[in-house]
Every structure is written in C-alpha cells, then in structure tokens.
Structure 1
C-alpha cells in the first residue's frame, strides 16, 4: 500500500474512533425558553418588561444557526403561555423525555423576587427565592402569592434534581432580579427587572438550599444569572435607554440578555475580543461568563452576572465551569 493511502486509512480509523467514543459524543440539545413581558396582574409592584419576550424571540435563531439546536427541540413559552403550570409541566415532561448525556438550556427572562425575610436570600447566582410567571398573583399591593410563583427550593429543585440524577446536563440562564431589597439600582435612566413584590412567606433559594455556604447540590447543572442578590438587572426598555445603550438589533432587551445575544451570535464581544481565549475551539461556560462579565463592566452596567457553582461550592470531580457550552463533553452517567 502506498504511503499516502496508508495515511488516509489511518486518518479514517482515527476519525471513526473519535466519533464512536461516548466521552465526546454530544447528546441531543433541547431548550425551554421562557419570557414574560406583559404580566396578567401588572401594576403597582409588578411592571411590564418590554424586552423580555424579545430576548426569547431573538435567542431562537441564534441557538439554531450557531449552536445546533433543532427547531423541534426548542420550546418557547411567552406571556400568556408562560404560566406557572405550563412552565412546571414542560420541565416535568422534559425530565421524563431526556436521556443521559442530553443537554437542556433553561432560559428565563422576566421578574424575580426575594422572600420577605431577606436573610434567607444568599447573594449568589442560584439563590433567588422565586421567578415570577405570567399569572403571578398578588395579595394586596406589594405581596406576591407564593402559590402562584416558581419558588426555587419548592418547585424548581425537584425537577432539576430529577434531570441531574438522570445524567442530563443543564444550563440555566436567568435574566431576572433576585431581591427587591437592592442596594444598587443601576443607572437612574434605566428601568430594571426588579419587582417590588415580596413573597407571603420566607421561601427557600432558587434551586438549592437557603444559604450560600451550602454545598452545591447538582453534579450536571450550571446556572448563569444576570445579577447578584443585592443588585437589580437592567431593562433596556425605553428609547432613552436605547440611546445610551444601543442593543444588538435595536429592539428592547434586558441588558444581560442583549450581551448574551451578542456573545452567542459571534463568539466575541466588542472591546473584549474572542470569548475562546485559549483558542482551543471549545467555548466553555467559564469563558462565556468571563467575557459577559468583563463586557458589562466595560459598558458601565452596575450589575455583575453570577456563575454557579463556584469553585468552593461545587462537588469534587468534573469542573462544571470548564464544561463546553451546551455540550456534554464528558457524558455524565446517571446517579446510582
């Protein structure tokens, strides 16, 4: 056999071995994208968010064209569709449907809130007390009925644990505020995603226990959120805001979501450069987080995105922060 033929045969065998290695085969990508711009009971304490649904609608083509998500695997719940029941039922169905090694992107764009007892809200990414769906109900003017919202510890954690134990890799991206008791409210020019509603009881934290020092409870789930618990998340939801901070497509968006769309669309950010800083061809969640955080600092946004788990809270073993984005690089096995 000629040397050139031997070379091509060797290359073919190597490529076959790589493609059949389960440690590098990605499972199916799925996405549940939730956005609420127009709340059923909007008014005092619960303002509408012009950019939230735009966040979701703009994200869909980016996921399809740049990240290999098929249209059949993307579920959108916006405004009237984004009820508490629909969100939980859709997550439950996905928990049953997805297989070990699959990836789920859960993206929420809307209001969040903290419990009345603010000592229960840890200042980290996964620790918002609740996300507010379309049909959030109010008790009085400034209190959210806890039975109508998505309380992390009560509602989200059991579903996330089911996915985690099954070996499904989850990226949760949350563009919402975590506590109305914000010490920094961002630019006065900018509206925010801070609801002034508190819950009618002291709920647990988003998807975990109540305290930041608790060990991170998941093996295959990572959370990237728009701001810390003592910050609001900016809403680029009026013409004055757009003049100061033009969005990627000229439409209203959450500030965090606008930066996320820029990053996921091109793999780079202005004044920051390529997100894949080590140029290894694999964008990790940590690299995405580094770029988004630095870009928001450069632009002057007074909110700091948060990534969970931290190095100190994640369990030993695979470093979730260095996981390839939207890809189960080391296919996790179900819990035993």
Structure 2
C-alpha cells in the first residue's frame, strides 16, 4: 500500500513539474518573441475600387482579371490591420500603422507613407509593407494606375523604402496576381543595401506564382491568401505549439491551405489554374512572425 501511495505521489509531483516547465517554456518563448520583434511599423494597402476601372460583371468574367474592380481587398487590409493590433500581432499601436484604402492608396501616397513610417525604425524593430489589390508582372497596381507604366508600383520603389530604413526585420507581403514574378526582379537587382544575412532579415511573402491569379472568395469575404495568413499568424500555424509562429511555419500553413482550397490536388489541373504562395529573401526559418497568446 505504501508503495502504491509513493508511486501516486510521484506521478502527481512529476506532472506538476512537467506542466510548470511547459508553461514557463511557452512564456519565455512568447516574451522572447516580443523582445526580438521590438517595435513594428506597418503600411497596409487595400485597393478594391480603382480610379479608372469599373465593377466586375456578376456573370461573365473577363479574360483579363485586371480589367475590373475587386471585391474584398479593403476587407483584407482591415483584417491584417486587426491582426497587427491584436496580442498575437504584437498589439501594434495605431500610430505605428498607416492603412490606405482605395482612394487613399495612390502611388505617391503609398511611397510617402512607407518612407515616413519606416524612417522611425531602429535596428531592433521590424517594418511591414502589406498590399492587396491588382498585380501584374513585377509590379503592383495602386488606386490611380492608368495606361502609363510609370503609374504602377514597381519593385525598385518598394525596395528603396526598405533600403532607407534601419529595421532589423523587413516584410513585404502581397496578395495580388502574378506577385511571384517579384522574385525575378529581386534576383537580378539584389537585396536592399545595408543588408547582410547575418544581421538583417528580408522576407517577401507573395500570394501566387508569376503565372497565377490571386483569388477572392465570396463565402469567406476575403482573398484566400490573406484569409489563411490571418489564421496562421494568430496561432493555427504554430505546428510545434511553443507559442511562436515562425516564418517557416506560417509559410507552410498558408501554402498548404491555399493550394488545397484552389484545387491543386484535383487532376488533371494546370498549375496556372490554382494558386501557390511563394516566399523568398534572406532570413532564418526560425524568424518569429507572431505568437499565440493561447499558450502563454
């Protein structure tokens, strides 16, 4: 009887030690993530309503997906804003975020806001440029785009704002068609100046490959990419349950879900007929993006 009692006491004590250790580990991980992230400065752009485009027909889809307004990009931008303001996103203060929707999202205003906010960053901080709207080969489409190529938001303009800031971590996230083509420009132009793989992280997280569209869905009221980006960043991508969502975990989660929901496993199916998120840059797989408050 004494032996059974001793075993029972041992199990209770061991369980308490294990649970305490697990809680402490998660708390340390979360605290470490907060310290590593530092301050966050973000420019969030969502363009559904374009100055020179009209509403998309409800029945017949155009051959060129960039010929009409979009439906949910403003909702996507608001979703990403709410994530950054949440505990999982770091409770970023509103004064550290510029949210530009529709008419506010002109090319000039986007660049001006990036330069203004990102210039406040220190070497311990991170900056995020998030864009959702139309995109085409190696460029993004601001609200005031027209037939002149100079009206488009090209890679060099975006890279230039990153080049000017001092932030340790720099994220370029785009939910738009053909955004994987940015990698071609990145490979030929190189990474921004002042950047070395030892002390800087450059992450480009794109919604689709160079030959693919980035899709919206009426039922969820968002683009697929942003919808799963939000879910993953809020904790669903935390595969090892340590309280930290790394960029590798987030990419794996978003890629798998977006490919699945757009029919990548359906055969026969051409690659251009589904959607594959891509990621590139210079960064560690363990780079934290967010953390799960549920495990603190």
TM-score, with structure 2 as normaliser:
0.71
Within a 5 Å distance, the mapping from 1:239-254 to structure 2 comes to 242=218, 246-247=219-220, 252-254=221-223
**1:30: Cα distance to partner?**
1.9
* Structure 2 counterparts to residues 178-327 of structure 1, below 5 A: 178=178, 206=182, 210=185, 212=187, 216-217=191-192, 218=195, 219-236=200-217, 242=218, 246-247=219-220, 252-265=221-234, 267-268=235-236, 275-301=237-263, 302-309=274-281, 314=282, 319-325=283-289
Task: Select the residue among 83, 87, 92 that pairs with 2:115.
Answer: 92
Structure 2 Cα separation of the partners of residues 213 and 86 of structure 1: 27
Which residue number corresponds to residue 3 of structure 2?
none
Equivalent-residue separation in structure 1 for 2:290 and 2:243 (angstroms): 14
SS in 2 for 1:325: strand
More helix by share: 2
Q: Relative to 1, partners in 2 of residues 1:326 and 1:30: Cα closer, same or farther, differing over 3 Å? A: farther
What's the counterpart of residue 135 of structure 1? 144
CA shift for structure 1 position 24: 4.3
Match of 1:156 in 2: 158
User: Could you say which structure has the larger radius of gyration?
Assistant: 2
SS where residue 49 of structure 2 aligns? coil
What CA distance in whole angstroms lies between the structure 1 residues aligned with 2:225 and 2:36?
31
Measure the CA separation in 1 of the matches of 2:83 and 2:159.
Answer: 28
1: CA distance between counterparts of 2:189 and 2:119?
A: 28
Alignment partner of 1:28 out of 39, 46, 50: 39
| Corresponding residue of 1:175 | 175
How far is the alpha carbon of 1:212 from its aligned partner? 4.4
1:51 corresponds to which of 72, 76, 79? 72
Check conservation: 1:174, 1:224, Cα contact below 8 A: yes
Q: Is the 8 A contact 1:171 1:326 kept in 2?
A: no
**Matched-pair contact (CA < 8 Å) for 1:37–1:52:** yes
CA distance in 2, matches of 1:31, 1:288: 18
The gaps in structure 1 that reach 5 residues or longer are 1-17, 115-128, 139-144, 183-204, 237-241, 269-274, 328-336
Whether contact under 8 Å (2:96, 2:117) holds in the other structure is no
Query: What count of residue pairs does the alignment treat as equivalent?
Result: 236
Contact 2:47 2:102 in 1 (8 A): yes
Residue of structure 2 equivalent to 1:60: 81
Structure 2 unaligned residues grouped into runs of 5+: 1-28, 55-63, 264-273, 292-296
